[in-house]
Structure 1
Amino acid sequence: MAGIHKIADINPTIDNLCVRIRVIRLWTLPSYGNSPLPYSIEMVWLDEDGGKIHASVKKAFVSRFVNLLEEGISYQIRYFGVGLNKGYFKTTHHEYVVNLNQRTDVHRLPESSSIPRYGFKFVSFDTLNAPGYDCTYLVDVVGYLAGIGNEKTLEKDGKSTKYTVIELEIDDGKIMECALFGNYAHELNAFLGSGNKDGAVVVLQFVRVKLFNEKIVLQNSMYGTKMFFNLEDTTVIQFKNSFVRFEESRANIGGIPNEAAFLKIYQGKTIEQLKEFETNSICIVLATISHIMDTPDWWYGQCECNRSTYAFTKTFKCSSCGRLLLSITPRYRIKLGVIDDSDCACFVVFDKEAKQVLEKSCVEILDPLLLKGDLSDIPTLLLNLIDKTFLFIVEVQISDNPHFSPSYKVKKMTDNVDLINKFKEAHPIQIDVDYTGGLLPISKTSSIIEGEKVKGAKNLLLEFSNEVAASDESELLENAITPTKRLCSESEESKVEGDTSTSKKIKIEKET
């Protein structure tokens, strides 16, 4: 239509600009002092072609627009100023920003589907972790809620700020950490307490990207970020469906006979070749177990609904159904340091496969350690795996991040001598290695049980709090990321299907 401009075409050379847009995000910056009006109104506009631009109402004009503009509403807006898009945290990639003024005319439009409601443009894990990624732009991220750290309080200048660190699985098997401060931490707690059973898919719109300790992490901006849980939006549904399809395509491995699975269906690779893959894949590796990694964390607690739990005050809380539990069902999650003649890696074995290999349930191994009162010991049955050679069917997930050290989920494993010999005949790989240790770092992390004393472990969230207590709020937001515990293993393993083994629960008294 004549006289209506596209957002992409906005520039200072055009007179009498006029656009039809939807306000997909609106927030205010507070005034200092006793002024009842905000210092400014900040917005992000979207048009029907997907163009986005940042728009502002400065303090002198706030009173004119404060009750005129609403988030989610479509408008025709004309006669506004144009400035350069500068700043540390930009909401769009447009070269310019819009400034509303006394001449600006705002006309509300009838609701129309021609302009999308949210305009999400989700950024992938690999894009965020690509070398040289520009962290000055806020991004949209969608992911499954995979982990939650304990809520902490930061005391600064007589003020208290609540914060929580979460983990998001934004690509299948690829996890990113995000720090949530203030109201965003409260929103998270409200969702966790809602008893929502539909799964936890989180959308973070206009979230900050930071490089912290040589890895890319996320954190909310002071006011501009918006957070959604289980949003019914087409792009979010597409994200969920992509995970479902991938899980279905690999879920039948357990039903394949051993010889077919290990010798006929999947390609045999060395560990070095695993790390050279450029696409997601499933393959076979012949390797020797060199050590057990993350020794206190070879198990996790499971709810009656078959989902993982996390520490919540003096109880445990289910990450899916939200119920509070005094006791939990332990399940295996064993991180194996493995090696062949080409390289070394971390293979992760979950409950179903671990029970078949160890021929004992997690409860049966954990009981003696509880009686001793020391969960930091490595069970003898796990230690007996060291120096043994197995055929592993593993999943390969790709990352372009040079600092990303991948682990590989084990779908199936066997030490059957006949199968190993047949595999060697088909794939003549020398694996007789004199392993002397030290090739893979054995990390010491905190226990999944809050209050448990683990020798050598560090409370990184507390350490972070001490480090930033003396810094200002902007520095606090810049250094908000700390490691968290993983809530859910991959969906296939966090649900135990057809499990008829002992369902005994372990009640763990937590320290006060």
Structure 2
Amino acid sequence: MDFNNITMLNDVDVKSYNNIIRVRIISWWKLPSKNNADETYSIEMIVVDEQGSCLIIKSPTFGPNTATFKYVDNRHKIGFYYNTKITQSDDLFGSFYGFSFTGFKSILDKTAREDVSIDVIGSVVRCFDRVKKAGDNNYYKRSMELEDLENHCIYVTLWDEYEKQFSDYLSKHPDVTTIVIVLQFGRLKWFGAKPYVSNAFNNVTRLFINDDINEINSFKQRYPI
């Protein structure tokens, strides 16, 4: 396979069947069939190439991304066809997690888009009590206030498994004083005069809580305590 003839995701020609792309899968999930919830209708995934911030995929198909809410800001979706070939790549390039952080100021200024998922990073400066989800005793939601390095603050709401992940972290680390979180593939919504970023559903969103990763470590080094 010719690895020197790689096409960047922003440069793909949807009319061509000879594209070769090199990407890292950073999130994937299954969509159930509408007629049978036990059957898988499709497998969705989010991929990133080295320009955005591995796999070698030869001869994929490309179609328009017409979703009302887009998990990535790209006008195309990638599809696998009968002649698509996938090869493992050992070239670990670019940001490992493919973060693309949205500044809190752009959220507060209402210049951040609401029809595309966003990544945010910040320190938890205020945390509200968990609230039981209406109609379901097994799940909760929890809101919190995040602060960035420029002292801008936004609200984040975690639902279901993501709230449980956060609550589990609190129970295991009762003495922690600084909590920095990354919410990747979150969804921005305005409620009154306040912007909230929450997890999307289908388990697309990824939540990192004080993880030992470069982005969180760098934030902590620069954040005034």
Q: Shorter-chain TM-score: what band?
A: 0.7 to 0.9
Per-residue deviation at 1:215?
2.5
Q: How does 1:388-399 map to 2 (within 5 A)?
A: none
Larger CA Rg, structure 1 vs 2: 1
- Greater fraction of residues in strand: 2
RMSD: 2.2
Q: How does 1:329-340 map to 2 (within 5 A)?
A: none
Map of 1:83 onto structure 2: 63
Distance 1:35 1:213 in 2: 36
Q: How does 1:412-423 map to 2 (within 5 A)?
A: none
Map of 2:170 onto structure 1: 192
**3-state SS of 2:66 partner:** coil
Which of 181, 193, 216 is the aligned partner of 1:236?
216
**3-state SS of 2:134 partner:** strand
Per-residue deviation at 1:204?
0.3
Distance 1:215 1:35 in 2: 36
Q: Retained in 1: the 8 A contact 2:105–2:152?
A: no
Cα deviations by residue, 1:372-416 (Å, 9 ceiling, x for unpaired):
xxxxxxxxxxxxxxxxxxxxxxxxxxxxxxxxxxxxxxxxxxxxx
Map of 2:194 onto structure 1: 215
Map of 2:132 onto structure 1: 153
- Change in Cα spacing, 1:159 to 1:32, as seen in structure 2 (3 Å) is farther
Distance 1:117 1:37 in 2: 32
Q: Retained in 2: the 8 A contact 1:143–1:169?
A: yes
Which of 136, 140, 145 is the aligned partner of 1:162?
140
Mapped pair 1:206 → 2:208: no
Distance 2:172 2:149 in 1: 26
Distance 1:238 1:175 in 2: 19
Map of 1:5 onto structure 2: 7
Q: Which runs of 5+ in 2 are unaligned?
A: none
- The residue identity in structure 1 corresponding to 2:47 is W
Q: Which runs of 5+ in 1 are unaligned?
A: 52-73, 248-490, 492-512
Aligned length: 221
Distance 1:198 1:106 in 2: 45
**3-state SS of 1:187 partner:** helix
Per-residue deviation at 1:3?
2.7
- Greater fraction of residues in helix: 1
- Change in Cα spacing, 1:36 to 1:107, as seen in structure 2 (3 Å) is farther
- Change in Cα spacing, 1:152 to 1:215, as seen in structure 2 (3 Å) is closer
Q: Report runs of 4+ in structure 1 exceeding 6 Å deviation.
A: none
Map of 1:289 onto structure 2: none
Mapped pair 1:177 → 2:155: yes
- The residue identity in structure 2 corresponding to 1:105 is K
**3-state SS of 1:39 partner:** strand
Percentage identity across aligned positions? 24
Distance 1:89 1:171 in 2: 28
Cα deviations by residue, 1:335-376 (Å, 9 ceiling, x for unpaired):
xxxxxxxxxxxxxxxxxxxxxxxxxxxxxxxxxxxxxxxxxx
- Change in Cα spacing, 1:231 to 1:76, as seen in structure 2 (3 Å) is same
User: What TM-score results when the alignment is normalised by the length of structure 2?
Assistant: 0.87
- Change in Cα spacing, 1:17 to 1:159, as seen in structure 2 (3 Å) is farther
Per-residue deviation at 1:181?
0.9
